[in-house]
Amino acid sequence: MSLRLLENAPLAGLNTFGVAARARRLVMLEDERDLPQALAALADGPRLVLGAGSNVLFAGDFDGTILLMRTRGRQVLGDGHGAPFNRIAVAAGESWDETVTWTLEEGLAGLENLAMIPGTCGAAAIQNIGAYGVELCDRFDSLRAVDMDSGEAREFGLADCRFDYRDSLFKQAGGRHWLILTLRLRVGAGQRPVLQYGELASALTAEGGPPGEPVAARIAAAVRAIRSRKLPDPTVLGNAGSFFKNPVVSAEAARELRVREPGMPGHPVTAAGEDRVKLSAGWLIERCGWKGFRQGDAGVHQAHALVLVNHGQASGREIAALAERIRQSVHERYGVWLEAEPSIIGGS
């Protein structure tokens, strides 16, 4: 299959915010046999790898080449050298949520808490996606990537990827030259249900399900129900899901904040060997009065303060400006800087 290349490419249909922007050049990779041509196209000027566009905000045009990952392929590899799980391999361009559904159809548990997260499998590893007590790194086996500068192919194990909260080597400046090609995960009978979130446990009970239905399928259905209630469908209302990461602060800082805000939610975590607290970005934003805010077509979702939305014709620049106003507001009130989850591309 020949490599697809488009000059002055429109991007509105390639990002879930639905904002209008253009790329100087767009290269679509559907077959790994075209990888050498794709890497050659990326050698000229700035470059950007794009999956489903669910974790990016184009605040302006991109004066470079975008590689659109559309590779396909999924397979069950086996039992992981005698361990009580199977390994699966999925191409980076595969839909993450369709992959979760496929594992459940194959009778393989482990990814159900991550159902309905948008994006591709390659992007899932870059972002170290997580929801309801499970992160991608908890199910990670290995991945295969290629150096976009040298063409060198390499295998990455768990430690190599430097996974952290919504972060990985591939998201950091020193690792962005790696293009993920194949992701391998550990799923199956060895993965126990994760129900530490009360909301999920309650929803699981409420959802019920057919007699004899596997618990993993029931958990996935409950997760989908929760996310459908909370998060707007990007095909109806442009958004990228949660726009800000939940900030992690020192235990002392959390105690000081709770003196002022006794009801402030927070979850103890350990980061870099220290006891810290993960705060709720949505709660902080809502307390600052942003929930349901709208200026023009850029706004904050009326049901979830963590979701920025495009009501129709907002530009990426307008949404980015709103995000910055929210960041400043939260910092002024709580002394906490929020960090955006999506990559903000273009603009000044």
Q: Which amino acid is at 334?
A: Y
Query: Nearest 5°: CA angle at 157, between 123 and 345?
Result: 25
For residue 185, what are the β-bridge partners? 88, 140
Q: What are residue 343's phi and psi, to 5 degrees?
A: -80, 130
Cα angle: 56, vertex 61, 66; to 5 degrees: 65
Q: How many Cα atoms within 13 Å fall on the side-chain side of residue 323?
A: 27
Half-sphere exposure of 248 (CA within 13 A, CB side): 11
Known catalytic residues are: 166, 242, 341
For the chain, how many helices (H) and strands (E)? 9, 20
Distances in Å between the alpha carbon of 190 and those of 105, 109, 187, 258?
Answer: 17, 8, 7, 39
Residue 55 has which token pair?
A: 């974790």
Angle between helix axes 198-207 and 215-230 (nearest 10 degrees) is 110
| CA 299 – CA 294 distance, rounded (Å) | 4
CA distances to 54, 180, 204, 275, 278 from 124, rounded to whole Å, are 11, 10, 25, 27, 21
